[in-house]
Structure formats: C-alpha cells, structure tokens
Amino acid sequence: VQLQASGGGLVQAGGSLRVSCAASGGTFSRYGTAWFRQAPGKEREFVAAIRYNSHTYYATSVEGRFTISRDNAKNAVYLQMNNLKSEDTAVYYCAASPTGPILSAVRDPQSYHYWGQGTLVTVSS
C-alpha cells in the first residue's frame, strides 16, 4: 500500500484546512487509518484515527476541532481541521494498518504498517 498525503499549507490562526491521504493498493476499506503529526524538535504524536468500522478516535488536543473521515470508494482518508492554533503547526502524516489496529493501540504509531510522506501545515498567529 502506498499513501500520498496532500493539502497542507499556510493558514491563519482560527482558520480551517483539510488534508487528504490517497491510498493505492490493498483492500483499503478493511484498513485502519490515522493521522499523526510531528512539530519541529518534537516527537511524532497521534492526532486522529478511524478504524475499518468507521469508529473514530482523537487526541484530546484536537477533539472538537478536527474531524477524520474516509471515503472507501476513493481509497482516501481526510482530516478536516477547524479553529487552527499555532500549536497545530507540524508535518502531518497519514498511516494505515491492514490489521485493525486493536482499540488499545489506535494511538500507537507502531500499530501502523504504511506511512505517507507527510504534508506541512503552518498556522500563523
């Protein structure tokens, strides 16, 4: 499976942006997918996940502002980001797992086998 992230850019604080991840290969509808992000000088952190059954999970820092969704017909997963803050500035990576992941591991980057190249989101204050 290959993942291609896109849609990043520069946005003002309080604004919105949607990043997309296109998948090729594999039976995407059965995959668990997620978004992670990595800010300069920081470790990669979990943002949101959507399992094969469309159940969603969010990091506390983005809950209520971000929405993850998927379109199995288009082999794509999206992250709609609203009310962006300067601390949301990071490279955003999409990831996919053909084996779930299990509920206790949705936030663990090691649960995901495939990764996209990342797309940069910069929020100016």
- State pLDDT tens for residues 35-93: 999 999 999 999 999 998 889 999 999 999 999 999 999 999 999 999 999 999 999 99
Question: DSSP states of 48-97 as a string?
Answer: EEE-TT--EEE-TTTBTTEEEEEEGGGTEEEEEE-S--GGG-EEEEEEEE
Percent residues over pLDDT 70 in the chain: 100
Residue 24 tokens read as: 């090729």
